[in-house]
C-alpha cells in the first residue's frame, strides 16, 4: 500500500505537495479545469479569525467595523457555537487559499480540491468574475487602499476619515454598477458634459449679464439635468464620488476605494450557489477518484464522506436549525443532477432539457454552464423537476391582503415551473436589494439631492436604518438629501430627509 498519499491524520509540507500534485492530475487532467496558479498558505485559527474580520482578504484598510466583526466571530467561535471555516480562498492571481493548521490530512486534501481547484476554476472562468473583477490586480490594489487610507488618517485625522468610511460603507450595497454597458455610456456622457461646461465658460461674456435680467435666467430643463448627470443613476456611491459638490479629492478617493471593493465582491454575491456547487462537485469528484486510484485509504474516504455529508445537508423548513436553503446543498445537488442528465437522462429530462440530455461530455457541459451563468439564471434554467421533488420544495406566499399564508405551488406537474421561477427570483440581487436611484439634483437652487426608492409589491425600506443611511448620504453630499419612496402608481408614500451634520 505504498501508493497512499498519507496515512492517519498527520500531514507535513511534503504531504501537501504530493496531495496537490495528485489532485492537480485529476482536476486539470481528468475534469479539465483551468485555474490560476495556486498559492496555499497555512494559518492558525487566530489568523483565520483575522481573515474573517476583513472579508477574507489578506490586507484591508482599518475601520472599527472590522473590529466589531472580529469580536462577533471570536465570541461565536470561543463559545463553540460554530467551527471556523476549513479554508478561505481569494479571487486573485495567483489564487490564494488559506488552510487551517488544525485540519487533518484528509481535510487538507478536500480543501485543496475544493478551493484551489473548484473555486479557483470558477473565479477564472465565470463570465461575471471575468467582467467585474481584476484578479491580477486585487492584491496590489488592497495594498494601495490600505496605505492610502492610513495616509489620509495621518493627514486629516482618524475622525474625518472614519466619517467618510462610515457613510461610504452604509451605501456600499448601492455602490455597484449592475450592467457594464451603462458604465461606458456614463464615461462618454461625462466627457460630453465637460465639453459643454468648457464651452460655456469660454464663451461667457459679462456684457450679456445684466442684473435686471438675472431673475429671468431659466432653470435648466429637467431633461438637460438628466443627461448631464446621466440620471437616473442607481450607483449612489459613484454619483456622489463624481458629483458631490463639497468633497475634497481624498474623500472622493476613499469613496472610490469602498465602491471598488463593493464591486469586487458583487460577483460573489451573485454566484453563491454556483460557486459552492462547482467547488463541492469538484472536491467530490476528486476525492472519489483518489480513492478509486488507491491513493487514500478507506478510513480517509469515510472521513471525507462524513464531512461532505455535513456540508451538503439541507434541513427542512420545520427543523429548528433551518436557515434558508443551503447553497452548498442546492449547488452540489444541481451539479450532480446535470451530470446525471447528461449521462443517463430520463424521458422527463429529455423533455425539460433537450439541449443537454444525453450529451455524454458531462464535464464539458458543466464547464460551459459554470462559465456562462449566475445563480438566478442558473436556477431558472437548470433546476430539474426531479430535484424539486427530491427537496420537496413548495412556494409559500405572504400577501398582507390575505389573512393566511398560502401554499402557492408544490412539487407537482402544475407547480414545477412556478417553484423554479420563484426560487430563481430569490437569488436575483436586483430584487433583494432595494431599487434606489438618484433622480435629480437641484444644482441651480439649494443643491438638494433627490433619491427615489421604487417600491415593489409594497415592500418599503425599514425606516430606522433608512433614516440613518440618508443622514450618512447627506454628510457626503454636503447639502440636503431627500429620499422618497415611490409606489407603483408613482405616488410618494414616504419621505426621508437629512441635512449634513457639521464635521
Partner 1 sequence: MDVIDRRLNPTGKSLPNRQRFLRRARKVIREAVREASADRSIRETGEGGVIVIPTGGIDEPRFRLGAKGSHERVLPGNREFVEGDRLPRPQGGGLGEGEGPGAGRGGGGEDDFQIALSASEFLDFFLEDLELPDLERRKLSKTETAGMRRVGFTTTGSPMNLAVTRTMRNALSRRIALRRPKFDEISVAESALEEAGDPEARSRLDTELAALKQRSRAIPYIDPIDLRFRRLEPAPRPIAQAVVFCLMDVSGSMSQHMKDIAKRFFMLLYVFLTKRYKHVEVVFIRHTDEAKEVDEDTFFHSRETGGTRVSTALSEMLRIVEDRYPRADWNIYVAQASDGDNEPGDNAMAAALMQERIMPISQYVAYLEVDEPHRHGMARSSLWRTYESLKSPAPAMRRVTSRQEIYPVFRELFKRRLAESEPA
Q: Which residue has the cell 439564471?
A: 377
Backbone angles phi, psi at 483, to 5 degrees: -115, 125
Residue 453 in the binding site for partner 1 (CB under 8 A): yes
For residues 348, 350, 356, 359, the Cα torsion angle rounded to the nearest 10 degrees is: 110
Whose Cβ is closer to partner 1: residue 51's or residue 128's? 51
Distance, CA of 52 to CA of 114 (rounded, Å): 19
Stretch that binds partner 1, among 57-65, 138-146, 200-208, 343-351 (CB under 8 A): 57-65
- In the region spanning residues 387 to 416, those forming contacts with partner 1, defined by CB under 8 A, are 391-401, 403-412, 414-415
User: How far is residue 28's CA from residue 36's CA, in Å, rounded to a whole number?
Assistant: 11
Task: Report the site for partner 1 in 116-155 (rule: CB under 8 A).
Answer: 116
Q: Residue 457, interface with partner 1 (CB under 8 A)?
A: yes
User: According to CB under 8 A, which one of 33, 49, 257, 286 is a site residue for partner 1?
Assistant: 49
Q: Shortest distance, CB of residue 191 to partner 1, whole angstroms? A: 31
> Judged by CB, which is closer to partner 1: 228, or 453?
453
Beta carbons of 378 and 410 less than 8 angstroms apart: no
H/E stretch holding 39 reads strand 38-43
- CB closer to partner 1 out of 290 and 387: 387
Q: Write down the residue that cell numbers 457541459 correspond to.
A: 365
Which residue stretch of 12-20, 238-246, 249-257, 283-291 sits at the interface with partner 1 (rule: CB under 8 A)?
12-20
Q: Which of 3, 8, 32, 65 binds partner 1 (CB under 8 A)?
A: 65
Distance of alpha carbon 63 from alpha carbon 166, whole angstroms: 9
Write the CA distances from 281 to 38, 232, 245, 334, 335, integer angstroms: 19, 42, 50, 9, 7
Half-sphere exposure (Cβ direction) of 152: Cα atoms closer than 13 Å: 26
CB nearer partner 1, residue 344 or residue 493: 493
- Residues in contact with partner 1, counted by CB under 8 A, come to a total of 99
Residue closer to partner 1 by CB (options 14, 446) is 14
Q: Which of residues 163-192 bind partner 1 (CB under 8 A)?
A: 166, 169-170, 172-174
Binding to partner 1 by residue 212, rule CB under 8 A? no
Of 356 and 473, CB closest to partner 1: 473
Site for partner 1 in 288-327 (CB under 8 A): 314-319, 322, 325
Q: How far is the CB of 500 from partner 1 (least distance, A)?
A: 16
Closer of 366 and 384 to partner 1 (Cβ) = 384
Q: Interface with partner 1 by CB under 8 A: which range of 258-266, 277-285, 357-365, 463-471?
A: 463-471
Pick the binder of partner 1 from 32, 64, 180, 495 (CB under 8 A): 64
Q: Which of residues 93-112 bind partner 1 (CB under 8 A)?
A: 94, 98, 101
503 binds partner 1 (CB under 8 A): no
- By CB under 8 A, what part of segment 467-486 binds partner 1? 468-469, 472
Buried b (16+ CB within 10 A) or exposed e, 175-203: bbbeeeeeeeebeeeeeeeeeeeeeeeee
- If one asks whether residue 17 binds partner 1 (CB under 8 A), the answer comes out as yes
Query: Considering only 58-66, 85-93, 342-350, 366-374, which stretch makes contact with partner 1 by CB under 8 A?
Result: 58-66
Distances in Å between the Cα of 108 and the Cα atoms of 8, 53, 186, 304, 412 are: 12, 23, 46, 10, 42
Q: How near is the Cβ of 338 to partner 1 at its closest, in Å? A: 19
Smallest distance from the beta carbon of 91 to partner 1, in angstroms?
Answer: 17
The verdict on 199 binding partner 1 (CB under 8 A) reads no
CA distance between the termini of the chain: 71
Q: Which long-range contacts (C-beta less than 8 Å, at least 24 apart) are formed by 387-390?
A: 387/333, 387/334, 387/337, 388/415, 388/416, 388/419, 388/420, 390/333
State the minimum distance, in angstroms, from the CB of residue 62 to partner 1: 6
Is the distance from CB of 245 to CB of 479 less than 8 angstroms? yes
Residues 413-452 that bind partner 1 (CB under 8 A): 414-415, 419, 422-423, 426, 432-434, 436
In this structure, which long-range contacts are made by residues 409-418, counting pairs with CB atoms below 8 Å and at least 24 apart in sequence? 411/385, 415/388, 416/385, 416/388
β-pair partners for 325: none
Grid coordinates given for 370:
459554470
Number of Cβ within 10 Å of residue 374's Cβ equals 22
At its nearest, how many Å lie between partner 1 and the CB of residue 315?
8
Q: Which is nearer to partner 1, 55 or 190 (CB)?
A: 55
Q: What is the rounded CA–CA span in Å between residue 158 and residue 62? A: 10
Our finding on whether 334 is near partner 1 (CB under 8 A) is no
Residue 273 found at the interface with partner 1 (CB under 8 A): no
Tell me: does residue 37 bind partner 1 (CB under 8 A): yes
Q: How far apart are CA 464 and CA 484, in angstroms?
A: 15
Q: Which of residues 352-391 bind partner 1 (CB under 8 A)?
A: 391
Amino acid at each position: 500500500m505504498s501508493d497512499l498519499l498519507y496515512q492517519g491524520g498527520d500531514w507535513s509540507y511534503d504531504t501537501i505537495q504530493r496531495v496537490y500534485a495528485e489532485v492537480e492530475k485529476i482536476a486539470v487532467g481528468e475534469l479539465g479545469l483551468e485555474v490560476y496558479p495556486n498559492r496555499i498558505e497555512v494559518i492558525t485559527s487566530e489568523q483565520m479569525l483575522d481573515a474573517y474580520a476583513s472579508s477574507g482578504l489578506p490586507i484591508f484598510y482599518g475601520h472599527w467595523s472590522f473590529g466589531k466583526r472580529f469580536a462577533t466571530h471570536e465570541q461565536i467561535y470561543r463559545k463553540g457555537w460554530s467551527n471556523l471555516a476549513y479554508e478561505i480562498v481569494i479571487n486573485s492571481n495567483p489564487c490564494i487559499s488559506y488552510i487551517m493548521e488544525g485540519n487533518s490530512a484528509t481535510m487538507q486534501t478536500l480543501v485543496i480540491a475544493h478551493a484551489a481547484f473548484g473555486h479557483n476554476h470558477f473565479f477564472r472562468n465565470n463570465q461575471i468574475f471575468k467582467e467585474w473583477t481584476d484578479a491580477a490586480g486585487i492584491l496590489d490594489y488592497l495594498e494601495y487602499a490600505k496605505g492610502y487610507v492610513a495616509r489620509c488618517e495621518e493627514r486629516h485625522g482618524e475622525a474625518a476619515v472614519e466619517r467618510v468610511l462610515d457613510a461610504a460603507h452604509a451605501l456600499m450595497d448601492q455602490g455597484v454598477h449592475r450592467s457594464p454597458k451603462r458604465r461606458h455610456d456614463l464615461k462618454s456622457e461625462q466627457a460630453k458634459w465637460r465639453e459643454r461646461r468648457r464651452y460655456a465658460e469660454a464663451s461667457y461674456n459679462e456684457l450679456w449679464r445684466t442684473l435686471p435680467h438675472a431673475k429671468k435666467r431659466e432653470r435648466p430643463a429637467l431633461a438637460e439635468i438628466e443627461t448631464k448627470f446621466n440620471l437616473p443613476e442607481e450607483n449612489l456611491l459613484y454619483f456622489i464620488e463624481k458629483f458631490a459638490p463639497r468633497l475634497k479629492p481624498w474623500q472622493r478617493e476613499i469613496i472610490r476605494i469602498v465602491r471598488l471593493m463593493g464591486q469586487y465582491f458583487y460577483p460573489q454575491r451573485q454566484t453563491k450557489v454556483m460557486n459552492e456547487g462547482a467547488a463541492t462537485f469538484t472536491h467530490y469528484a476528486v476525492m472519489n477518484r483518489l480513492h478509486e486510484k488507491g491513493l487514500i485509504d478507506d478510513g480517509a474516504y469515510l472521513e471525507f464522506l462524513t464531512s461532505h455529508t455535513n456540508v451538503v445537508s439541507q434541513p427542512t423548513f420545520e427543523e429548528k436549525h433551518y436557515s434558508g436553503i443551503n447553497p452548498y446543498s442546492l449547488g452540489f445537488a444541481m451539479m450532480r443532477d446535470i451530470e446525471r442528465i447528461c449521462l443517463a437522462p430520463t424521458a422527463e429530462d429529455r423533455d425539460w432539457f433537450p439541449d443537454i440530455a444525453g450529451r455524454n461530455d458531462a464535464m464539458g457541459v458543466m464547464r460551459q454552464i459554470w462559465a456562462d451563468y449566475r445563480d438566478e439564471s442558473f436556477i431558472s434554467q437548470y433546476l430539474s423537476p426531479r430535484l424539486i421533488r427530491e427537496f420537496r420544495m413548495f412556494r409559500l406566499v405572504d400577501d398582507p391582503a390575505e389573512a393566511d399564508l398560502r401554499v402557492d405551488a408544490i412539487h407537482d406537474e402544475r407547480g414545477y415551473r412556478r417553484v423554479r421561477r420563484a426560487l430563481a427570483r430569490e437569488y436575483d440581487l436586483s430584487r433583494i436589494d432595494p431599487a434606489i436611484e438618484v433622480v435629480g439634483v437641484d444644482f441651480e437652487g439649494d443643491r438638494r439631492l433627490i433619491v427615489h426608492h421604487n417600491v415593489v409589491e409594497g415592500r418599503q425600506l425599514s425606516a430606522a436604518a433608512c433614516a440613518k443611511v440618508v443622514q450618512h448620504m447627506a454628510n457626503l453630499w454636503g447639502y440636503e438629501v431627500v429620499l422618497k419612496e415611490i409606489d407603483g402608481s408613482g405616488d410618494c408614500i414616504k419621505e426621508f430627509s437629512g441635512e449634513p451634520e457639521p464635521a
